[in-house]
Amino acid sequence: MGAILGDGNFRYEVVDSWAQLPPGMTCGDVGGIGIDRHDNVYVFNRGPHPMLVFDRDGKFLRTWGEGMFPRAHGVHMGPDDTIYLTDDGDHTVRKCTLDGKVLLTIGIPGRPSKFLGGQPFNRCTHTTLSPRGDIYVTDGYGNAKVHKFSPDGKLLKSWGDFGIDPGQFNIVHNICSDADGWLYVADRENHRIQVFDGEGKYETQWNFLHRPCGVCMSQGAQPFCYVGELGPSFPLTRDFPNLGPRVSITDIKGNVLARLGKNHAGEGDGQFVAPHGMAVDSRGDIYVGEVANTFWPQVYPDRKPEHTLRTLQKLRKVA
């Protein structure tokens, strides 16, 4: 039995070596994860096979996307058996079928907009849909904007600027929406999640997070928000307790219900290195994608990992 994280109603078992890859196949750093209505798991990664698909037990099903995605970053599942893939290296969002056929491309592949210019896209990071089907994209590393598009990809409006005030961003890294159309935006380097209505009007913010990176929201009458936090990367603070990396679970108002993960970045059972993409299946199991190979040298520039770093973990809900 793997390590148990959390307590009370939020206890999870770490499922070791969940993904059953064919011999010789590898999974690179995982930018994002999505789950379809059959609980199949779509792992968008930076290896030679950008999309790895598994069933909920970790059985390998298929790959796709080879040669199409230079730097996998974000995943959002559409309500109609589609998947939205955000590539910050290609500066695009692609809407695809679940077997990889491209239905819509927003952005010009390989051609970023002007750095800091505010126009889509310069290293966009993530995508979500409103209940009406409007498309929201965080943009990202080379801008400080949220862009709103119509379902067919027409730009409707943008908001945000660099800074620390409400409505401003310092690496706008991830976004999700709830059933009422509220938007939850991971403002990573400002250590907060900002909440907006569908037109970009600022509502509130959650300030109890350390570099929130991955964000997803469960469905149902009582949804929960799952937040992957990077934790510190500076040598001065990397050994401080209670900063992450970890997964935090909150209610819809931002109240913390659980923190999952042992202190400090590491390779041990129950530890994380860099939680980057999050997804939750119909049974409440959590899937965590990590950019561990990218982040390890930032946290531990003075040592190499002892083992091949995990980039994908499953946390099974304990009844």
Q: Give residue-wise pLDDT tens across range 266-289.
A: 999 999 999 999 999 999 999 999
**Does residue 1 have a pLDDT over 80?**
no
The domain tally of the chain equals 1
Q: Give residue-wise pLDDT tens across range 234-257.
A: 888 888 999 999 999 999 999 999
> Residue 37 is part of which domain span?
4-317
What is the domain-level CATH number for residue 108? 2.120.10.30
SS (H, E, C) the chain: CCCEEEECCEEEEEECCCCECCCCCCCCCEEEEEECCCCCEEEEECCCCCEEEECCCCEEEEEECCCCCCCEEEEEECCCCEEEEEECCCCEEEEEECCCCEEEEECCCCCCCCCCCCCCCCCEEEEEECCCCCEEEEECCCCCEEEEECCCCCEEEEECCECCCCCCECCEEEEEECCCCCEEEEEHHHCEEEEECCCCCEEEEECCCCCEEEEEECCCCCCCEEEEECCCCCCCCCCCCCCCCEEEEECCCCCEEEEECCCCCCCCCCCCCCEEEEEECCCCCEEEEECHHHHHHHHCCCCCCCCCCCCEEEEEECC
pLDDT for the residue numbered 222: 87
Query: What pTM did the predictor assign?
Result: 0.97
- Percent pLDDT > 70 in the chain is 100
